[in-house]
Amino acid sequence: MAAKILPVVKLATKVTIAGGAVYIAYDSGLLGSSEQGSEALGKAKAVIPPAVEEWMKYFGLELPTLPRVEFSPVQSWNSGVRWTISSLSEAPTKASDYTSQGLQYLKDLTK
């Protein structure tokens, strides 16, 4: 009987943890606009280092210093979408240019 209940308990635990993670992400603004995500990242940058430092003192461990990486999430948010839209908008002009270059190349070959 216990062997049949164990998979159900495991699944319920996983669903609860995943649901909690999604709720926390939504509540903190990570699933909102880029401004909300940037604000949440700023809050996390302010809170996480002191908390990690306190836990490391508690456990008597020392972590190496982290390298500083400065980037703006607002600037990089959806950069892939922007690149795709930009490429699609330039596609007709590029196709025309490449066709002209190809025709010119063929004309030069036949001379």
Give the chain's mean pLDDT: 82
Q: Is 67 helix (H, G, I), strand (E, B) or coil?
A: coil
Q: What is the pTM of this model?
A: 0.39
Tokens of 24: 């926390």
Whole-number pLDDT of residue 110: 86
| Number of neighbours of residue 30 by Cβ within 10 angstroms | 15
Domain borders along the chain are: 9-74, 78-111
Query: What are 53-107's pLDDT values in tens digits?
Result: 888 888 887 777 767 767 766 666 677 778 888 888 999 999 999 999 999 999 9
| Number of neighbours of residue 24 by Cβ within 10 angstroms | 10
Tokens of 3: 């062997």
Instruction: Give CA 76 to chain center in angstroms.
Output: 9
